[in-house]
A and B are shown apart, each in its own frame.
Chain A
C-alpha cells in the first residue's frame, strides 16, 4: 500500500480527524516509550483532546508527577532554555532545513560545474556556451581544482627530488606545446593530448624499428 502525502493542515473532516488522532496518538506513545527505554531517560507525555474525556497521560499519572517535580526542581533558566512550542519548533525546523538545502544546492552546483569543466577539456562544449550565471561558479571550481593539482604536484615533486622521468608514454612532455589562442580552448586540451599520443606512438615505432635492425 503506497503512502499518500498528508497535507500538514487541520483535518476538516471530523471522522478522518478522529481516526488520524487515534492512530497518531498510539504512534507517539510508542515512540516515547522507545526513546525512554533505549536511552534510559525520563519521558512524560500529556495529550488533551476533545476525543477523550480525560487527558491522556504517559507513562502513568505517577510517573508524570515525578517528571513534573523533576522539572520544577530545575532553575527557571534550565527549564525554559530548550522549551518549544509549535511556533518556535517550526521556525527552528525551517532554518535547519534551509541550511541543509542550501549546502546541498552548493554542492550540486560544484558537481555540475565539474562536469562542465571536464566537458570543456574534452571538447564537448566550450566556455562560450556556459550559462552567464554559471561562469563564476565554474571559475571557482576550476580554481579549486588547480589548487588541488598544485598541492599534489608539490607533494610528488618533493618525493621525487630531482626531475622525475615518467614511465608513462601517454603524457610525454618532450613535445612542445602548440601555441593556443585565448579563444580556442574548446579544442585545445584534448586535441593536444591526442597529438602527443600520436607523436609518442610514432617515436615508439621508430624506436622499435631501430631495435629490430640492431638485432640483425
Chain B
C-alpha cells in the first residue's frame, strides 16, 4: 500500500527556514504548549506561567491562577498578605469548581468530535466500497456528458418533488389558525421567517410551508418545463406567477421550525399561460 504523505517526520532542531511554515508552526506549537500547561495545572494543582513572543513581536501568555500573580510572586514584588488568606481560599475553591466544569465540558466536546470523525471515515469508506456500481449518475458531475446530465437533472427534479411532498406530510397533522393575512401577494408571507427571528408562530409556519411547498412543487429552473399560470392552494391563489421564487428547506436541528430560505432562480421568467403538461419529455 502506497502512503499518500510521509506522515510525521523528525525535524531538525534549528530555526525553520520557510517563513510561512514558521508562522504556522508557531501557532500550533504555542497552542500545544498552552494545552500542556493547562493540563499540568489541572492534574497537579501547580502554579505556572508561560510567556511566548511571536515572530511578529506580539506576546502570548498563559498563567495559573493568572499571569501577573505568578510573575509578581517570582519577582517578589507583592508578597501575599496573610489577611487575605480566607478570602483567597473561598474564591479559589469557587474558581476551581468553575475550571472543573470547563474541563468536563471540553472533554465532552472532544469526545463528540472524535465520534463525528469516525462517522466521517465510515461514510467515506462506504462511498468507496459502493463505487463499483452500474449507476453512472453516482460518478462525479464533471465526468458526465450533456445528455446524461440532462437526464440526471430530470430524475433528480422528480425526486425533489417527492421529497418535498413527504416533507409537507409532516405538517398536515396540525390544523392552522386563520388569523393571518390571507390575501397577500407572494412576497409578504414568504418573508415571515426572516421577520420573526425566533418567535415564529408554528401554525403560521404551517401555512407558509404549505404555500411554499405548493410553489416549490411547480417551481422551475429549467425553461423547458411548463409551469402553471395560476397556483391554487387550500388557502387561496398565489399571485399571477410572474416571478416564481424557489425555496430551499433550511437544515434546522429543530424539526418544529422548518424554515425555508428564499432562493432566486435565474432564467425563470415565464410568460406562458399554459397548463402543466406532465409526462412530456424534455426538448
Contact = CB atoms under 8 A, between A and B. Distances in A.
Interface of A: 6, 8-11, 17, 20-21, 24-25, 27-28, 31-32, 34-35, 37-51, 55, 57, 64, 67-68, 70-71, 74, 78-79, 81-87, 89-91, 93-94, 97-98, 100-101, 104-109, 111-112, 115, 117-118, 120-122, 126-128, 130, 132-133, 135-140, 142-143, 145-146, 148-150, 152-153, 156-157, 160, 164, 166, 168, 170-173, 176-180, 182-183, 185, 188-190, 192-193
B127 A111 contact: yes
Contacts of B102: 86-87, 90-91, 94
A156 to B, nearest CB: 5
Given A24-B43, A47-B40, A148-B141, 14 more contacts: A8-B107, A10-B42, A11-B43, A43-B51, A43-B53, A45-B51, A84-B60, A90-B103, A127-B159, A136-B250, A142-B159, A164-B147, A173-B147, A173-B281
Interface of B: 11, 13-16, 22, 25-26, 29-30, 32-55, 58-67, 70-71, 73-75, 95, 98-100, 102-107, 109-110, 112-113, 116-117, 119-120, 123-124, 126-127, 133, 135-138, 141-142, 144-167, 170, 221-222, 248-252, 255, 258, 263, 278-282
Given A39-B55, A48-B48, A82-B61, A138 B163 contact: yes
Contacts of A9: 42-43, 100, 103
B163 to A, nearest CB: 5
B40 to A, nearest CB: 5
A171 B148 contact: yes
B110 A97 contact: yes
A108 B75 contact: no
B147 A146 contact: no
A121 to B, nearest CB: 6
A196 to B, nearest CB: 8
> Which of B44, B100, B106, B109 has the most chain A CB atoms closer than 10 A to its own CB?
B44
Contact of A28 (B36, B117, B153): B36
Nearest to A188: B158
Contacts of A24: 36, 39-40, 43-44
A198 to B, nearest CB: 14
Nearest to A64: B74
Contacts of B95: 87
10 contacts: A28-B50, A40-B22, A44-B51, A47-B47, A81-B58, A85-B64, A105-B116, A121-B137, A139-B167, A149-B149
Given A82-B58, A177-B279, A139 B158 contact: no
Contacts of A97: 106, 109-110, 113
Given A8-B43, A145-B156, A156-B149, A128 B166 contact: yes
B159 A48 contact: no
Nearest to B73: A48
Contacts of B46: 21, 47-51
Nearest to B54: A41
Given A8-B106, A90-B106, A185-B162, A104 B116 contact: yes
B44 A11 contact: yes
B113 A100 contact: yes
Q: Max chain B CB contacts within 10 Å: which of A145, A171, A178? A: A171
A49 B62 contact: no
Contact of A176 (B67, B73, B281): B281
A131 B229 CA distance: 34
B119 A108 contact: yes
Contacts of B147: 164, 166, 168, 171-173
Contacts of B278: 179
Contacts of A55: 73-74
Given A68-B71, A104-B120, A136 B252 contact: yes
Contact of B50 (A32, A90, A101, A142): A32
Contact of A101 (B58, B113, B137): B113
A90 B164 contact: no
